[in-house]
Structure 1
Amino acid sequence: MPRIIRSPDCGNSPRNGFVENIAIALETGICDPEAFDPAVTWETASTRQIVGRTALFEALPTERAPAKVIVEHAISHGRVGAASGEVIRANGETSRFCHVLEFTSLRANHVARVKSYD
């Protein structure tokens, strides 16, 4: 399991915490399937579009698992959220990420769409 450093933005906001958890899941490949709508779409940084919960889970990283994930910011407003941070691999390779999320409703408890940037 990678070391996770969480954002200070999530202390009093369950929605921000949910956004943070989704970002961590997308970076580590470890997540709860119920957090994603069955028809979720994921537009990856390479502009590849992945459609459906099953396809999303098949596309999650399984190789090159991170040694550390640092979430710098996680925010939400209405039906949208975003998280940014840094991933450090076991070999020392570092990359940055930003995931913009759209939720199925204002409750912000199921992800309908993800756009990822690195």
Structure 2
Amino acid sequence: MTKIISNLNCGNSPKMGFLMDFNIAFAKGDLEFIADSVTDEIVWNIIGNKKIEGKQKFAEELEKMKSTKVAELVLNQILSHGKQGAVNGTMKLQKGKEYAFSDFYIFQGAKVAKLKSITSYIIEI
């Protein structure tokens, strides 16, 4: 079971709540929620690693990550404004590795909670 640590109150911002749920789904391996949360034209740029374009390739990449089990997710900050959002925190894997991440999101529209772009910065700590 994945331990989630967050003192963030996202009750006043639906998009901040969505980004919290999206990151929790990612940590728990809820591929259906994640795939339903992105547009068909999603672009995921993992800086220094790879760029994934299109929902099919995005789903294939998530499937490869499915075997990686997250023991703990710490969400430090969640921000949103208009069509943009950001989340940073740490993720500890069951195998002991730990990563710090910052993800920057672009939504399909100011009132639409589907993601069309994700830029991820990930470092092992």
TM-score using structure 2 length: 0.83
Question: Which residue type is aligned with residue 30 of structure 2?
Answer: I
Q: How many positions carry a matched residue from both structures?
A: 118
Q: Is the Cα–Cα contact under 8 Å of residues 102 and 111 in structure 1 kept in the other structure?
A: yes
Q: Assess, with a 3 A threshold, how the Cα gap between structure 1 residues 95 and 82 changes in structure 2: closer, same or farther.
A: same
SS in structure 1 at match of 2:113:
coil
How far residue 94 of structure 1 moved from its aligned partner, in angstroms, is 1.2
Identical columns (%): 25
Are residue 17 (structure 1) and residue 24 (structure 2) matched? no
Q: Is the Cα–Cα contact under 8 Å of residues 9 and 73 in structure 1 kept in the other structure?
A: no
Q: Distance in 1 between matches of 2:26 and 2:118?
A: 10
Q: Is the Cα–Cα contact under 8 Å of residues 35 and 110 in structure 1 kept in the other structure?
A: yes
User: Which residue of structure 2 aligns with residue 80 of structure 1?
Assistant: 84
SS in structure 2 at match of 1:19:
helix
Q: Is the Cα–Cα contact under 8 Å of residues 44 and 120 in structure 2 kept in the other structure?
A: yes
Instruction: Choose the corresponding residue for 1:70, options 56, 68, 74.
Output: 74
SS in structure 1 at match of 2:109:
coil
Q: Where does structure 2 lack aligned partners over 5 or more consecutive residues?
A: none
1:22-54 residue CA offsets vs partner (Å, 9 max, x unmatched): 233444432412210011110013341111112
Q: Distance in 2 between matches of 1:44 and 1:21?
A: 20
Q: Where does structure 1 lack aligned partners over 5 or more consecutive residues?
A: none
Q: Distance in 1 between matches of 2:37 and 2:87?
A: 16
Greater strand share, structure number:
2
Q: Distance in 2 between matches of 1:56 and 1:8?
A: 28
Question: Which residue type is aligned with residue 79 of structure 1?
Answer: K
How far residue 7 of structure 1 moved from its aligned partner, in angstroms, is 4.5
Are residue 5 (structure 1) and residue 9 (structure 2) matched? no
SS in structure 1 at match of 2:18:
helix
RMSD after superposition: 1.8
Q: Is the Cα–Cα contact under 8 Å of residues 7 and 74 in structure 1 kept in the other structure?
A: no
